[in-house]
Structure 1
Amino acid sequence: MKLNKIYTLALAALSLAACSPEDFDGVSEAGLPVAENAKVTATVDEATNTVTFNLEGDGIYPMWYIPVDGKEVTKNPVYSTLNPLQKIWSNAGDYKICYRVGNHNGLSQGMGETTFHIANSLTNYDELLAMLCGKEWRIASTEAAHMGCGPSGTDGTEWWSAKPNDKAGFGVYDDRISFGTDYSYTYDPGDGGTVYVNKDCSVLGGPKSEDFMVTVDGKKKSSFKLSTEGEDIYMTMPAGTYFPYIPADGAFNGELKLRIESLVGSTMTLVWDNGEIAWHYILTNADEGFQGFNAASDCNLWKSCQYSNTFYYAPGWAQIADPTLTADGNKYVIELPTATTDQWQAQVHFHTDMATNADNSYDFSAKLLSSTDHNNVTVKLTKEGDDNTYYFMENIQLKAGQEYIFYKSNMAGIDMDKINLVFDFGGNAENTKITVRDIDLQEHGCDGIEAPAEDEDKTVYTYDSESNLWKTYVDDKGNEGFTTTFFYAPEWNQIADPDFSVNNGKYTVVLPEATSDQWQAQVHVVTGIPAEADTEYDFSCKFLAKKDINGVTVKLTDTASDDNFFFANRYDLKAGTEYQVKIPAVKMGKGKADALKLVFDFGGCPADEKIDIYNIILQKTAK
């Protein structure tokens, strides 16, 4: 399996400019740069013929055009503005995609194009079935554009595109779908037991003034088939098939025909297009980890409790009007228009009639989502009227747009006749919006969900953070940010280097020959990142392997000495399952390093193995 990358220079004048209000200095035709400043890559994944298009550069965005039906390309609608864009071409051949580039000054007047080659037609669906079946798929709620809609003939993101967790609390993210090798299909409405339906649907109790949820009685069985039409591959289910979001009557009363836009690793993009509108879905089967206790179960004391709210909102310790709190079932949105600087300056209290006793133990969970970064949110579960008697008082960090699951398991019971749940957002940025949902307090084990042991690593790993040294020194520089060396030696007989490619911070290694021992399949990524002596650093990366592989070695070391390193750990990877490495607060073993190299060893790999490595993070440990 091979990844082919093609670079092309733009054929049109493009514009590079910052988009932030403080940097905006008006529209200027003179701000358009020369054409060679733009670069587009096209990367072909030959397993599924998924092509990834990426426009490199800051402050610019692409408008992708796909030539169809022999029309002049500008007569076709803009297919997508996503960057990167992924799309399947089912037939072998040479193709091109065209693009214009926009920024705050406007669009390039000319149009660029890049060509790409599909080596093999998808003559059967074996590879697709292997990637589809035996997994549990869900809407990829943390991805931008995980749901969207747009004009027919496009990827369905132009008119509306969901932000991460945009539809939390609407019964869509807990739905699960699965596919069998016998072409069976199963829809599971999840813990909430509902399907989400477009407001204009007349089926399932509509239409209504807003999109609505409908109760579904257990799992629903159906079937699916795969077919090819032109360059596209479709997945079709019979009438009456349930799906996490039903966009129109025709998608339920008639066949549910979904174009497989892309299928790479643990992510699949689907488009439903009825000739009038296109709906866009991103699904994932990556391990989602613990998602909190079942807030919808009758075990949850919060579900039936009565509560009232009080607030203390005091920027600079001068109290102002209460923040706005909007409740929608077990979902609460708190709006904080004014910044604060210190803990306890933005308190929200839920005074409840919940009671606990010392004879039982208890579990608690809640999900928090912030519109801005917040490094010191306090969560406290305390006895009403007695701030010194409490189950916990914890400080957590929230990253903008990333939902945080806070939980405690098997807490020793305390006699409390009334309970106060306190959130403090002191230190918030201006115009911060916090969403708290799925609050759950229950007797330990009541809902049958077992929480993992609490992660002692409270480190926040954010790839796009300015503190990520790997992104700054390596990924942001493309191929100029590193060099590579290899040692690939089945039975200790060195052969040709493995295929190695890089696309926008994702590193792909293809190993055609099996190996049996550690250090027989080494990949060295040599960088210019320096490391200070006696200084703690955090490291993280993610893996996605095509096949099971045990004992993968990850070592971050001084390029000048293999004996001076941060760590050398080994991990087991499961096929098709994302695995995240987290290594907090480590120091160099023997002092500073002028430059670091990251070593991966896949010794013991099976034949025809492929591993993706991405979201690499190296940062100084926060104090």
Structure 2
Amino acid sequence: MLKKIYSSSSMLKACFAVALAAVTLTGCSPEEYEGPNEAGIPSVNAAKVRVEVDQTTNGVTFYLDNKGEYPIWLMPQGRNTTYSTVNGQTVIFTVAGDYKIPYRVGNRNGISDGTDTLTFHINNSIVNFDQYYNLLAGGSENSGKTKEWRIASSVADHLACGDYGTTGNGWYSAQPNEKGSFGLYDDRLTFSTEKGYVYEPGTSGTVYVNKDASYGNNPHSGSDYTTPVSRQTADYRFEVEGTSLYLVLPANTLFPYISADAQYSEPRFRVENITATQLDLVYDNPNKSISWHFILTSGQEGFQGFNADSNCNLWKNCTYNMTFFYAPGWAQIAAPGFSANGNSYTISLPTATTQQWQAQCKFHTDMTTNSSTRYDFSAKFLSTKDHNSVTVKLVKEGDDNTFYFTEVIKLKAYEPYVFYKSDMPGIDMNNVTLVLDFGGNEAGTDVTVSRIDLQEHGCDGIVAPEEDTDRTVYVYNAISNLWKTRVDDRGTAGFTTRYYYAPGWAQIANPVLTFNAGTFSYVLPQATSARWQAQCFITTDIAGEANTKYDFSCKLNSDKAGTFMVKLTDTASGDNFLFAKEVTLRPYEEYTLKVPAVMLPNGAAASLELVLDFGGNEADTHVSASNIILQKTAI
């Protein structure tokens, strides 16, 4: 059994520095605070700690549930020991065994005198990296798959640094989209299951470099800089050192941020956490006594607007002048702050307003449109504060009643929002005005509007997605969820099963099913090659009423890629079904299927059964269905 219990005076000094930082930070709060109080130092005995272990990836997540306190986890890292003050910290442990992780707790008054331990067990050592190839590259080793990653711009800590050997986020943490002007978020990293690595610098054609590095053309301005680079191909490998997992690239390989010459010459990243859509890497630089933290994502970006850089964009070459009406309580004050940087505009609103139209910003342009042409429009918004009522209006100059649209949108702090309209009927306008109203803003709100695009419909070749009109509310624990009350809550008494598992149409032994608290988990040991060769039936006593609409939702997970079928049907007739939907699953990425307002076409069903067909599966596929919701459609 592997047991690690460490402490050191240097680490405790570092933890004390964290405590002082916590004291300093509380000075930003409006709450009155007179300094540390020894009587208020927390007790480790009162700490409510917990741990979650993912035995698939060996990822362990540590939590402290005490309000107003922070944890100090003392963790093995390679052959050394490190600390983290992150609540919700995830660390990968590569070696099987029982672990005891010492911890303390702190608050603004100081750090607990005592130390306690949190225990957990890792079932298996990492002896092959197949699950990591699945997560990183989208398939098993040498399966011909690739997966693209990018810096997770919308997440705090996506670029951070801290004490050497730590999780690398104790000193500095980039806020969402903070580095947007440096081309950092354009970079793309592609990993293949054949251990191939591709770095693409994106539209900027540059890489972002630390001020103290020498790579490229360092202007020696005392600030981080960008320098031109080209596409680069290389390879990668996984390595285990001690209890830590590393992602290793060859010497002189590019990465979205070059923190030091040493990183470029020997890029070796500790894998702190990996899921299907998030990768946390730490680069330890002993020469500088610093660790750098990077968060990457492979999640879907969603629609990013039309191509504002194309010559199709009328906004690109227009001229404009600005006017403002900034009137808290309808008493006009000085105009809000305004700055422009290319096709990016920041409006700074120091004073709060309470109603629509109290914070108007107008772009009076020389753009023209006509009634014989159809148009597309898009713009990206980013606010430093939540704002539930931003008005966006594209209107004819001097005529408030002639406009393409007047829409109210909601912005969440530091979350990019892409507003768009597609295929709009044209209107004769000699001068087009864009009106942005931030009435109802909090004090100190900054909003950046960028990549504004007005163009003839389809000119740049980008097709906008259709607006999601499904407003159905799906709540698993709701009384209206027939599946939960009639199936899940009754355990295995709530359903029966049958199977048709037939690779090459020759039926074999059934897949293995495990049912636990509403989750149906299947293991399919042999591959199949066609639809309907791996059918799993869940038969219920839920009756389907005639002429009644139903909503359905469930979550699906698989450790292998595949395109499968989900069907909810009359047990007595496969032709009388509510729906049959094809779903494409990526390894370890949760997929939520939603099917609103469907009706049985051939009348009532005495009972319904859910058919999950995994035909076409790879060998040794583990797949699950959970959070199943079946409800009558609300009128």
Structure 2 counterpart of 1:97, from 77, 80, 101:
101
What letter is aligned with 1:377? V
Structure 1 counterpart of 2:354, from 341, 365, 376:
341
Aligned to 1:269: 280
Asked whether the 8 Å contact 1:554–1:570 carries over to 2, the reply is: no
Q: Aligned partners of 1:22 and 1:554: how far apart in 2?
A: 55
Q: Which shows bigger deviation, 135-144 or 101-110? A: 101-110
What letter is aligned with 2:334? A
Shift of 1:453: 1.2
Deviation by residue 1:58-103 (Cα, 9 ceiling, x = unmatched)? 33322221146888xxxx553x222211111222222222222233
Matches within 5 A, 1:374-523: 374-456=387-469, 485-486=491-492, 487=495, 489-491=497-499, 498=514, 500=516, 510-512=521-523, 516-517=534-535, 519-520=537-538
The 1:441/1:68 distance shift into structure 2, 3 A limit, reads closer
Confirm whether residue 546 of structure 1 aligns to residue 559 of structure 2: yes
Deviation by residue 1:439-467 (Cα, 9 ceiling, x = unmatched)? 222333333322111233589x9xxxxxx
Shift of 1:520: 2.5
Asked whether the 8 Å contact 1:489–1:495 carries over to 2, the reply is: no
Aligned to 2:141: none
Deviation by residue 1:227-253 (Cα, 9 ceiling, x = unmatched)? 22222222222234222222222223x
Q: Aligned partners of 1:600 and 1:191: how far apart in 2?
A: 46
Structure 1 counterpart of 2:62, from 44, 49, 53:
53
The 1:292/1:540 distance shift into structure 2, 3 A limit, reads farther
Structure number with bigger Rg: 2
Aligned to 1:6: none
Shift of 1:343: 0.9
Shift of 1:394: 0.9
Shift of 1:177: 0.9
Aligned to 1:153: 165
Shift of 1:50: 1.8
Asked whether the 8 Å contact 1:543–1:578 carries over to 2, the reply is: yes
Asked whether the 8 Å contact 1:490–1:513 carries over to 2, the reply is: no
TM-score for both structures, normalised by structure 1: 0.75
Q: Aligned partners of 2:229 and 2:373: how far apart in 1?
A: 34
Asked whether the 8 Å contact 1:169–1:331 carries over to 2, the reply is: no
Number of residue pairs matched?
A: 540
What letter is aligned with 1:52? T
Asked whether the 8 Å contact 1:379–1:395 carries over to 2, the reply is: yes
Aligned to 2:130: 126
Asked whether the 8 Å contact 2:41–2:112 carries over to 1, the reply is: no
SS for the counterpart of 1:342 is coil
Aligned to 1:40: 50
What letter is aligned with 2:235? S
Q: What is the percent sequence identity of the aligned residues?
A: 45
Shift of 1:126: 2.1
Structure 1, unaligned runs of 5 or more: 1-14, 462-467, 474-481, 502-506, 525-537, 556-566, 587-598
Q: Aligned partners of 2:190 and 2:79: how far apart in 1?
A: 38
Asked whether the 8 Å contact 2:78–2:242 carries over to 1, the reply is: no
SS for the counterpart of 2:245 is strand
Name the Cα RMSD after superposition: 4.2
Q: Which shows bigger deviation, 232-241 or 491-500? A: 491-500
Deviation by residue 1:247-277 (Cα, 9 ceiling, x = unmatched)? 222223x132222222122221111112122
The 1:69/1:210 distance shift into structure 2, 3 A limit, reads closer
Matches within 5 A, 1:276-425: 276-425=289-438
Q: Aligned partners of 1:114 and 1:495: how far apart in 2?
A: 37
Asked whether the 8 Å contact 1:337–1:430 carries over to 2, the reply is: yes
Q: Aligned partners of 2:610 and 2:177: how far apart in 1?
A: 34
Structure 2, unaligned runs of 5 or more: 1-18, 20-25, 138-145, 480-487, 501-508, 526-532, 543-550, 570-577, 598-608
What letter is aligned with 1:498? T
Shift of 1:601: 8.3
The 1:65/1:542 distance shift into structure 2, 3 A limit, reads farther
Asked whether the 8 Å contact 2:344–2:449 carries over to 1, the reply is: yes
SS for the counterpart of 2:499 is helix
SS for the counterpart of 1:82 is coil
